[in-house]
């Protein structure tokens, strides 16, 4: 028996039955578990569920009949005859193409696009289409009077019981009818289903980007639900406006059936102005259909793709919808979701006729079952497909009763929130004894003790939050040591716990622990020098197998989490207890968990990470106080909420607080993060690190690693081995470090020692590196940094004329290699590009979409008294507005750093660099 195929039939063998129940059970349990986590089920439907309306074959038969029976007055043109003949005798490959060509030709005649139709065909074909439309609307299986099928009813019930979104390729609107019907006749629903029809919301068909935006940017949705209709197969109406030129339906594509038209004397007319209405649709295989489908799919990626817990496909062969196939393929690659493909089997063709090849063998569906890591694709077959949905629904309800998660009551979560608030207050205090604080924290039962007892977590205390910047600016070792990544992560954990309890509509302890884990673990992958080291990896272009970007701390965090959760029994137990998986934890850390407000707390442009580090950095850099933070938090929480789509919404004081945070970030960029004197010192660090790494990677050990098939199952260059070698050095170095050492300085000294003892390296570079180390170690305080800026840094504003980033990168590399230890070039991006946490530029997906995920809604950016914004917008769509509000200009800079003391060499190198930058138009003349 095929592992992924299940069969529901009265002729099932007991073995079949067990197999069926096991799979349905697994699927329903998964849906139930994810329902408690606020996740959604995506149901993709096709014409197979709408037996009460004509399907494509019936439509084509009718067209053929209308053409063949047309009276003799029609002298068919040769062009039409050619098209029609091709359609009637297509090869298997050309089937959709010829069908589409015929339909387009007929529709062009009807829509008045006469330039594409032969004169003799115009009138007859327009008549054929008119008759077809009337038949389609009012015929035996007319759309206007069609009743929803049993399948629509079950899907409606699923909507009412679980979080479901349907994506349909049907034009019949029967699901909406099923909803309307249950609202108007509360008794219509079957008794065995819980009757909540009075409470059930309205179903809105979503057909365009605008409707998507409207639905998802609403603060409240009045419990309404949506069905996403792919534009292609949907009927459209356009009022010609011949009787009323200002008819609202004129030139507007209206969704039918039934809502905008009426039929009088076999004539379709607009129900507002009674003018003739034209009805048309886009058919499978046309470019128009695919491109418009992509727009709809874009909305799914933007608003809820990450929230999908599983996919059910029913009544859809997937043959005609390549965009949906590509979307699913992308989705399943990104997240290993279970999929159930439900199709009908024909009893007449025999019980054993399972037609394996029809699903597994074809490209459109084979990916659902093959190449999935844990066989999550299920192919379910039944004569009445809705029975399988019914079974899933019943099982879901059974598990829902069993698996209830205890939600906090109001008093409980208010108490807990105030506990976290007190802790946050303490953590920002300058005289905090962090060790005692941690001991106290472990005593609290709302934080699982196990999460602190992990070596990797405790090692974070070695790594400074700001690298050596604190050391250079404040010059005091004790401050440096207090401002570490462990303290930061604990701060993020406390802030996110507090905000979660404050804003979550129904908080529960499992979700709280899950958020705390993500908050505490989010920075585990930082090594000494953190982003500086990542820049070096980026310069070298080292990409690990399976990754699309060069090595960074996110990738390392992922690996460490995998390792911890595999080896730490306590943590494993905890994860089982709260019912979250390792991949869910990683998704949340990456901001791709799917539940908007939870992602927003952990990884978003205004996540708790940014809140903590900005205030913490400001306090440690002597640029802010604890009180600033308290005021910020009070304002921020005041108008912060979570809407029905689980998006975080900000208005009035919360928006004001957000702008304050971004503006504060800008100041920190100017004064600390992008300050040229500090970047000079970092460039010196990079010179040392890069030289050291270059040598470490020539060691025999790297090549031996390549032979280790267990550690590196895939190997096509040495990037992974080299990364591993560098990471091991860093980890080993910090493990053996004395407690009173400044971690980054210690690591640098170890590197310099190794460089100095290396006989292959040129003496002049050794001297340069020694003097770099000197300046790194001796720079302490603001004045010293100022001095560097005056004496060793030249800054040029980057031209606005546009240039290629790769050319700039090449020049920087050339200068680095050709003037060793003499000069360094640094590109500094404008703070406006960082103001929202640089939104990742996404590659176009194979389904034609390209969009970032949104989970935060905001309004009132422009706060003029009495004139607040009426509408919410997605945060990602207001970047320009915020930059304008904060007066952030888009200026980028090139810094040239003088490293060598030799004036002649430096002048030569500087001339060359400036000449090259000007030649490429990167900086302006003069």
Partner 1 sequence: MKVNMIGIYTLYVSTEMIDFAKTGLYRAVPMIVYKVNDEKPQHFIIKRPIEIFKENMEYRQIRNIVHETADPNITFLSIPSKAFSKMQSYAKQNIDKVIADMITHIVVKLIHQMQSEDTSSRNVFFIENIDSNKVIGRLGYLYLDSKVNTIAFVTYKTGGLLTDILNGDNERLKFDINYFNSQEKSKEIHSEIIPNDYMESMTQTVFFRIPDTEATLSPLRFDVLSQGISKEMIREKVNIIEDILQNRDNLTLPIIEKSTHGHGVNITMIPRVLNECIEAAEKYKHEAQVILEGELYG
415 versus 699: smaller Cβ distance to partner 1: 699
Q: Which residues contact 221 (CB under 8 A, 6 or more apart)?
A: 201, 215, 643, 644, 645
Residue 817 burial (10 A CB sphere; 0-12, 13-18, 19+) = exposed
Measure the CA–CA gap between 391 and 380, rounded to whole angstroms: 12
**Is the Cβ of residue 3 or residue 147 nearer to partner 1 in the bound state?**
3
Nearer to partner 1, 361 or 781 (CB): 361
**Which residue in 46, 148, 257, 820 binds partner 1 (CB under 8 A)?**
820
Distances (CA, A) of 618 to 474, 610, 622, 668, 882: 12, 12, 6, 7, 22
Residue whose CB is less far from partner 1, 412 or 539 = 539
Strands 823-828 and 793-797: unpaired
Whose Cβ is closer to partner 1: residue 473's or residue 726's?
726
548 makes contact with partner 1 (CB under 8 A): yes
Residues 309-328 close enough to bind partner 1 by CB under 8 A: 326
Task: Round to whole Å and give the CA distance between 293 and 847.
Answer: 9
- The candidate with the shortest Cα–Cα distance to 324, out of 210, 203, 233, 214, is 233
Kindly state the DSSP code that residue 705 receives in the 8-state scheme: H
Least distance (Å) between residue 546 CB and partner 1: 5
Instruction: For the CB of residue 535, give the shortest distance to partner 1 in the complex, in Å.
Output: 14
| Cα-trace Rg, the chain | 32
Q: Are 224 and 204 in contact (CB under 8 A)?
A: yes
Q: Applying CB under 8 A, which part among 29-37, 83-91, 760-768, 861-869 lies near partner 1?
A: 760-768
Site mask, partner 1, residues 887-916, x = CB under 8 A? ---------------------x---x----
210 binds partner 1 (CB under 8 A): no
The side-by-side arrangement of strands in the sheet containing 793-797 is: 793-797, 893-898, 823-828
Contacts of 223 (CB under 8 A, 6+ apart): 199, 200, 201, 644
Q: Among 243, 274, 329, 623, indicate the residue that binds partner 1 (CB under 8 A).
A: 329
Q: Do 183 and 234 contact (CB within 8 A), yes or no?
A: no
Least Cβ distance, residue 716 to partner 1 (angstroms): 5
Q: Pick the closer one to partner 1 by CB: 91 or 700.
A: 700
Residues numbered 651 to 710 that lie near partner 1 (CB under 8 A) are 690-691, 694-695, 697-700, 702-703, 706-707, 709
CB of 358 to partner 1, least distance (A): 20
Nearer to partner 1, 695 or 834 (CB): 695
Choose between 518 and 811: whose C-beta lies nearer to partner 1.
811
Residue 79 or 706: which CB sits closer to partner 1? 706
Q: Can residue 810 be called a binding residue for partner 1 (CB under 8 A)?
A: no
C-alpha to C-alpha distance for 555 and 716, rounded to whole angstroms = 19
Of 542 and 673, the one with the shorter C-beta distance to partner 1 is 542
Nearer to partner 1, 174 or 364 (CB): 364
Q: Which of 10, 14, 443, 546 is close enough to bind partner 1 by CB under 8 A?
A: 546
Say what the alpha-carbon torsion angle 609, 613, 615, 620 is, to the nearest 10 degrees: 160
Comparison of 159 and 542: residue with beta carbon closer to partner 1: 542
Does the protein bind partner 1 through residue 760 (CB under 8 A)? yes
Shortest reach from residue 709's CB to partner 1, in Å: 7
Kindly indicate which of the ranges 92-100, 390-398, 762-770, 852-860 contains the residues binding partner 1, using the contact rule CB under 8 A. Answer: 762-770
In 10 A of CB 236, how many CB atoms?
18
CB of 755 to partner 1, least distance (A): 9
The one among 223, 349, 800, 818 contacting partner 1 by CB under 8 A: 818
Nearer to partner 1, 35 or 360 (CB): 360
Q: How far is the CB of 809 from partner 1 (least distance, A)?
A: 13
User: Which CB atom, from 713 or from 802, has the smaller least distance to partner 1?
Assistant: 713
Q: Annotate 327-349 with DSSP letters as a single string.
A: HHHHHHHHS---EEEEEE--GGG
According to DSSP, the residues that pair with 923 across neighbouring strands are 798
Sole binder of partner 1 in the list 22, 363, 787, 800 (CB under 8 A)? 363
Query: Measured between alpha carbons, how far is 441 from 437 in angstroms, rounded to an integer?
Result: 6
Phi, psi for residue 767 in degrees, rounded to 5: -65, -40
Binding mask 616-655 for partner 1 (x = CB under 8 A): ----------------------------------------
Can you say whether residue 300 is alpha, beta or left, with left for phi > 0 and alpha for psi between -120 and 50 degrees? alpha
The structure tokens listed for 431 are 């005289």
Q: How far is residue 290's CA from residue 212's CA, in Å, rounded to a whole number?
A: 18
- Paired tokens of 218: 């609403």
| Burial label, 840 (beta-carbon count in 10 A; 0-12, 13-18, 19+) | exposed
Distance CA 640, CA 2 (A): 51
Distance CA 317, CA 566 (A): 40
Q: Which listed range, 240-248, 631-639, 812-820, 879-887, lies at the site for partner 1 (CB under 8 A)?
A: 812-820
Closest separation between CB of residue 840 and partner 1, Å?
16
Q: Which is nearer to partner 1, 532 or 706 (CB)?
A: 706
For partner 1, the closer of residues 51 and 694 by Cβ is 694
Calpha distance 721→702 (Å, rounded): 6
Residue of the chain from 65, 317, 767, 846 that contacts partner 1 (CB under 8 A): 846
Length of the chain (residues): 926
User: How far is residue 511's CA from residue 598's CA, in Å, rounded to a whole number?
Assistant: 9
Near partner 1 by CB under 8 A: residue from 57, 287, 411, 843: 843
The answer to whether 547 contacts partner 1 (rule: CB under 8 A) is yes
Among 420, 874, 884, 886, CA closest to 650? 874
Residues 704-723 that bind partner 1 (CB under 8 A): 706-707, 709, 714-718, 722
Asked if 246 contacts 297 with a C-beta cutoff of 8 angstroms, the reply is no
Whole-number minimum distance, CB 503 to partner 1, in Å? 35
Q: SS3 for 782?
A: helix
Work out how close the CB of 590 gets to partner 1 at its nearest, in angstroms, rounded to a whole number. 15
* Segment near partner 1 (CB under 8 A); pick from 86-94, 254-262, 291-299, 761-769: 761-769
Q: Does 840 bind partner 1 (CB under 8 A)?
A: no
Which residue, 542 or 613, is less far from partner 1 as judged by CB?
A: 542
Residue with Cβ nearer partner 1 (113 or 753): 753
Q: How far apart are CA 239 and CA 271, in angstroms?
A: 9
Q: Which of 406, 817, 841, 864 binds partner 1 (CB under 8 A)?
A: 817
Rounded to a whole number of angstroms, the minimum distance from the CB of residue 854 to partner 1 is 23
Q: Does 545 bind partner 1 (CB under 8 A)?
A: yes
Q: Which stretch binds partner 1 (CB under 8 A): 10-18, 184-192, 388-396, 546-554?
A: 546-554
Element holding 159 (H helix, E strand): helix 150-161
The single residue among 69, 406, 710, 759 that binds partner 1, judged by CB under 8 A, is 759
The Cα-based distances of 141 to 52, 384, 559 in angstroms read 6, 20, 57
Total binding residues toward partner 1, as defined by CB under 8 A:
47
CB 178 within 8 A of CB 54: no
| Residues with Cβ within 8 Å of residue 362, at least 6 apart in sequence | 319
Q: CA nearest 497: which of 420, 579, 440?
A: 420
By CB under 8 A, name the binding residues for partner 1. Answer: 326, 329, 333, 363, 371, 543, 545-548, 690-691, 694-695, 697-700, 702-703, 706-707, 709, 714-718, 722, 759-763, 765, 817-822, 843-846, 908, 912
């Amino acid at each position: 028996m095929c592992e992924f195929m299940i069969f529901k039939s009265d002729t099932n063998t007991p073995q079949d039955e067990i197999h069926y129940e096991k799979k349905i059970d697994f699927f329903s349990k998964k849906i139930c578990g994810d329902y408690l986590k606020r996740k959604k089920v995506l149901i993709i439907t096709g014409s197979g569920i709408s037996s009460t309306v004509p399907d494509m074959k019936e439509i084509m038969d009718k067209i053929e009949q209308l053409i063949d029976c047309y009276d003799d007055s029609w002298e068919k043109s040769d062009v039409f005859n050619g098209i029609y003949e091709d359609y009637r005798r297509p090869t298997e490959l050309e089937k959709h193409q010829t069908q589409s060509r015929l339909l387009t030709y007929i529709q062009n005649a009807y829509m008045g696009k006469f330039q594409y139709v032969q004169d003799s065909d115009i009138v007859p074909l327009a008549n054929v289409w008119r008759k077809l439309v009337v038949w389609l609307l009012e015929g035996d299986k007319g759309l206007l009077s069609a009743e929803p099928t049993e399948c629509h009813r079950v899907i409606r019930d699923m909507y009412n019981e679980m979080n479901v979104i349907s994506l349909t390729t049907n034009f019949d609107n029967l699901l909406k009818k099923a909803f309307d019907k249950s609202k108007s006749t509360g008794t219509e629903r079957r008794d065995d289903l819980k009757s909540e029809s009075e409470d059930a919301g309205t179903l809105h068909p979503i057909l365009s980007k605008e409707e998507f935006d409207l639905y998802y940017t609403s603060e409240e949705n009045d419990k309404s639900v949506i069905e996403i209709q792919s534009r292609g197969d949907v009927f459209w109406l356009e009022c010609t406006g011949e009787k009323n030129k200002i008819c609202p339906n004129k030139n507007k594509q209206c969704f039918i059936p039934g809502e905008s038209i009426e039929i009088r004397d076999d004539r379709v007319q607009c129900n507002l102005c009674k003018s003739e209405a034209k009805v048309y649709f886009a058919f499978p295989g046309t470019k128009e259909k695919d491109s418009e489908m992509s727009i709809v799919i874009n909305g799914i990626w933007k608003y809820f793709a990450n929230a999908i817990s599983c996919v059910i496909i029913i009544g859809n062969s997937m043959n005609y919808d390549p965009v949906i196939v590509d979307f699913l393929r992308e989705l399943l690659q990104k997240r290993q979701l279970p999929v159930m493909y439900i199709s009908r089997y024909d009893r007449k063709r025999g019980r054993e006729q399972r037609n394996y090849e029809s699903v597994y063998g074809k490209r459109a569906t084979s990916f659902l079952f093959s190449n999935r890591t844990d066989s999550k694709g299920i192919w379910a077959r039944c004569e009445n497909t809705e029975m399988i949905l019914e079974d899933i629904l019943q099982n879901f309800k059974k598990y829902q009763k069993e698996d209830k998660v205890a939600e906090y009551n109001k008093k409980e979560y208010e108490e807990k929130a105030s506990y976290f608030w007190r802790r946050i207050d303490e953590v920002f205090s300058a005289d905090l004894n962090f060790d005692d604080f941690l001991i106290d924290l472990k005593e609290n039962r709302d934080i699982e003790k196990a999460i602190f007892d992990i070596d990797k977590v405790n090692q974070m205390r070695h790594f400074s939050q700001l690298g050596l910047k604190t050391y250079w600016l404040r010059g005091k070792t004790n401050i440096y040591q207090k401002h570490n990544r462990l303290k930061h992560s604990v701060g993020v954990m406390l802030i996110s716990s507090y905000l979660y309890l404050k804003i979550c509509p129904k908080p529960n302890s499992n979700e709280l622990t899950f958020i705390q884990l993500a908050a505490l673990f989010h920075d585990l992958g930082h090594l000494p020098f953190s982003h500086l080291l990542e820049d070096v990896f980026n310069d070298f272009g080292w990409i690990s197998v399976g990754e699309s970007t060069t090595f960074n701390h996110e990738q390392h965090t992922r690996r460490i989490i995998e390792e911890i959760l595999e080896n730490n029994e306590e943590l494993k137990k905890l994860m089982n207890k709260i019912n979250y998986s390792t991949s869910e934890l990683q998704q949340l850390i990456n901001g791709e968990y799917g539940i908007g407000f939870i992602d927003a707390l952990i990884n978003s442009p205004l996540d708790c990470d940014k809140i903590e580090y900005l205030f913490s950095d400001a306090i440690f850099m002597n640029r802010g106080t604890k009180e600033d933070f308290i005021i910020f938090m009070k304002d921020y929480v005041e108008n912060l909420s979570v809407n029905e789509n689980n998006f975080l919404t900000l208005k009035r004081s919360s928006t004001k607080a957000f702008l304050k945070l971004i503006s504060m970030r800008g100041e920190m960029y100017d004064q600390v993060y992008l300050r040229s004197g500090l970047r000079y010192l970092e460039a010196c660090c990079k010179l040392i690190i890069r030289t050291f790494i270059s040598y470490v990677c020539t060691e025999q050990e790297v090549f031996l690693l390549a032979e280790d098939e267990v550690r590196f199952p895939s190997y096509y260059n040495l990037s992974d081995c080299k990364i591993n070698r560098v990471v091991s050095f860093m980890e080993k170095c910090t493990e053996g470090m004395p407690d009173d050492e400044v971690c980054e300085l210690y690591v640098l000294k170890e590197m310099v020692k190794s460089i100095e003892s290396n006989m292959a390296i040129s003496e002049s570079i050794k001297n340069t590196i020694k003097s770099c180390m000197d300046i790194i170690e001796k720079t302490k305080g603001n004045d010293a940094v100022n001095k560097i800026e005056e004496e060793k840094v030249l800054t040029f504003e980057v031209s606005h004329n546009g240039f290629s980033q790769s050319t700039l990168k090449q020049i920087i590399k050339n200068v680095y290699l050709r003037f060793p230890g003499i000069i360094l070039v640094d590109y500094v991006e404008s703070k406006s590009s960082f103001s929202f946490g640089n939104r990742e530029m996404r590659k176009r997906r194979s389904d034609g979409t390209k969009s970032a995920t949104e989970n935060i809604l905001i309004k009132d950016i422009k706060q003029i008294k009495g004139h607040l914004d009426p509408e919410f917008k997605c945060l990602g769509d207001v970047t320009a507005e915020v930059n304008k509000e904060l007066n952030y200009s888009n200026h980028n800079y090139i810094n040239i750093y003088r490293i060598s003391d030799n004036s002649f060499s430096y002048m030569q190198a500087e001339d060359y660099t400036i000449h090259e930058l000007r030649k490429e138009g990167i900086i302006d003349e003069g």
